[in-house]
Amino acid sequence: MFVLGLACMALLLSSCCRKQAPVAQEQALNEGLAPQITNIGARSGWLLDGEWKSIVDLYETGYYDYRRAPMPTGRTYFREDSFYDDPTQLVEIDFDRAPTLKVPGDWNTQRKDLYYYEGSVWYRRAFEVPQQEGKRYFLYFEGANYETVVGLNGKVLGKHTGGFTPFNFEITDGLRPGSNNVTAMVSNKRRLENVPTINFDWWNYGGLTRSVRVVETPATFIRDYSLQLKKGSMNTLAGWVQLDGAQAQQKVCVEIPELGLSQELSTDAKGYASFEVAAEPELWCPENPKLYAVCFKAETDSVSDRIGFRCIETRGNAIFLNGKQVFLRGVSVHDEQPLEGGGRAYSPEHARQTLQWVKEMNGNFVRLAHYPHNEAMIRTAEEMGIMVWSEIPVYWTIAWDNPDTYANAINQLSENITRDRNRCNIVIWSVANETPLSDARLKFLSGLIDKARELDDTRLVSAAMEKEYIDEEKALLTVVDPLAEKVDLMSFNQYVGWYDGDSDKCDRVTWTFRINKPVLISEFGGGAKAGRHGARNERFTEEYMEYMYQKNVAMLSRIPGLSGATPWILKDFRSPKRMLVGIQDDYNRKGVVSEFGEKKLAFYVMQDWYARLRDEYAAK
């Protein structure tokens, strides 16, 4: 576990857009990063959470000179003498006198003047680490939005691009006895080449939105591992282990005491070993979220985890969990704090409140849209018996032909899978949402699907596609996306009754599909402001939303192969695209729960439907 210590940290984000900033030609997408460490919570170290000094830097004056060229480190805000302590010298920065921001946390909800801010903010904090001989030290960020350049004691460590996945730098040689200073700049600027691109329907929360820590490891340590049921099996465990360090060839023992299992491995010259072993574990499922204590013991290191085992697969147009047909009774969720005030979520308490609403709805599944959520959400859902759809922010229209954009998407997918591959409740990796058809887009997304399966073949892979009319007059609907041939599910978004006609149109709609795969409605719904009442044909009233949900449930129930649904969305969430004064006020109002935790009438429509489906599938 991590012990809170004195810490100094700050994030710098420089412009990455290849066409818009000179620095992009000089810096790669990611620089100086160490390979990602898995199961970070099991490691010794020091949390750097708390108050950090902060300086808002809209023009990135602390990074570029007056000709927009990157300055040497000694002339930027990374330097150690960035304090106004000698009035005879010209100094235009003083972290000592600067205000603070809480970490983890977004800057938008902490200060009124930063509510809409999109730009760069510097963070800085001092910390002490009692170093031990023969140990290695890493600076680990659980997430920072969006581009981050980090420095330690006046030296730049490197850069990370992507707002929702973890990254770390090795700082063993850069630490010194006593006080250390970590400085960084985070930028949440939207750019065409980014993932997501400039246009998206959620709040662009900036800052060190998740925890930061210093991690201590042995000189050679277990950096990564995988342990799950072998694909297609319920009695064979398969996995691997990866060591990092000079003493790469070692004996490693994998132990699951409750199963009486002890498997010895020998790593190769690169520190890698894989294994398969027969076992009869009690399988994880929503009704019985069983997790086993697992320990990986090397000669120089050991790490423990709690891992569950389950088998998820499709047969024809049905989904099977542990060999039994299952309906994914879900709802979509954004990574926002559950109650008044909002802001980016980050804690187990945030997760538990959000997921408790899912349980009250009789749900067993969540679609974590539209980017990787914080690790506490995944682990809490696993403990509570809730299956997960995990997604990366390839959203709407991406720069499909840009190789840097593709590399960015691949990296975010890889970092997400690396962090969560041992969480058995994740049953679907999603690579995109509502993307327009084109050859370039198909090639882009096909590459992501192949990468997901290469990294993890034990889960389903999909994307949130879109519906099309075969015959609009007859209200005959389908999915014509060629991506449907590559994914495991026919998952798509549809808004009949909201963007497409009124609620009664649901009665006239017929769905047909030429591909025999399970159907998952990844989005449906409409908006209402909690407490706003009126006739059932009056938009943005709870009565309209309730009636539309009733009609949608009846329509969806007629779909052959319907195997799951995640209405949009569990809770009202912030979005600057939603500007209707007095009703939206910067909130997307499609939540079945308000930002204050008030359940709207539509919540109970889903609760009743899911209760019927729960009982129906339990009887099969």
The domain that holds 558 is classified in CATH as 3.20.20.80
Shared domain for 298 and 336, answered yes or no, is no
| Sequence-distant (≥ 6) Cβ neighbours of residue 109 within 8 angstroms | 115, 205, 341, 342, 343
Return the pLDDT at 23. Answer: 30
Is 227 within a domain? no
pLDDT at residue number 26: 32
What average pLDDT does range 145-161 have in this prediction?
A: 96
What is the reported pLDDT for 69?
92
Judgement on whether residues 451 and 592 belong to the same structural domain of the protein: yes
Domain with 167, as residue range(s), is 2-218
Residue 226 lies in a domain: no
Residue 223 lies in a domain: no
Q: Write out pLDDT tens, residues 40-93.
A: 999 999 999 999 999 999 999 999 999 999 888 778 899 887 666 778 878 788
Same domain, 333 and 354: yes
Same domain membership, residue 288 and residue 192: no
**Inside any domain, residue 195:** yes
Which amino acid type is present at position 175? L
The predicted structure's pLDDT at residue 82: 67
The two three-digit tokens of residue 616, written as one number? 């129906």
Residue that finishes a domain, picked among 310, 340, 359: 310
Read off the pLDDT of residues 218-274 as tens digits, 9 standing for 90 and up: 999 999 999 999 999 999 999 999 999 999 999 999 999 999 999 999 999 999 999
Q: Same domain, yes or no, for 72 and 35?
A: yes
Q: Is residue 464 part of a domain?
A: yes
pLDDT band at 583 (very low <50, low <70, confident <90, very high): very high
Which CATH number do you get for residue 302? 2.60.40.10
152 with 269, same domain: the answer is no
**In-domain check, residue 534:** yes
Question: Is 224 contained in some domain?
Answer: no
Final residue before a domain boundary, out of 275, 294, 310: 310
Task: Based on the fold, state whether residues 440 and 477 are members of the same structural domain.
Answer: yes
Q: Note whether residue 498 is domain-resident.
A: yes
CATH number of residue 177's parent domain: 2.60.120.260
* pLDDT tens digits, one per residue of 293-318: 999 999 999 999 999 999 999 999 99
Chain CA centroid to CA 360, Å: 24
Statement: residue 411 has pLDDT above 60: yes
Averaged confidence pLDDT in the chain: 93
Judgement on whether residues 328 and 404 belong to the same structural domain of the protein: yes
In this prediction, residues 162-191 reach a mean pLDDT of: 97
Q: What is the rounded CA–CA span in Å between residue 102 and residue 53?
A: 9
The DSSP code sequence of 109-155 is: TT-GGGSS--SEEEEEEEEE----TTEEEEEEES--BSEEEEEETTE
Among 29-33, 77-81, 102-106, 598-602, the range scoring the smallest mean pLDDT is: 77-81
Whether pLDDT at 209 is above 90? yes
Assigned token pair, 89: 């010298």
Residues 323 and 301 in one domain: no
Does one domain contain both 298 and 350?
no
pLDDT in tens, 486-535: 999 999 999 999 999 999 999 999 999 999 999 999 999 999 999 999 99
Give the number of domains in the chain.
3
Question: Does one domain contain both 380 and 360?
Answer: yes
- Among 167, 194, 218, residue at a domain's last position: 218
Nearest Cα neighbor of 306 from 227, 373, 251 is: 227
160, 259: one domain: no
423-447, pLDDT tens digit by residue? 999 999 999 999 999 999 999 999 9
Q: Which of 29-33, 227-231, 581-585 has the lowest average pLDDT?
A: 29-33
428-450 in b/e form (b: 16+ CB < 10 A) is bbbbbbbbeeeeebbebbbebbe
pLDDT of 127 > 70? The answer is: yes
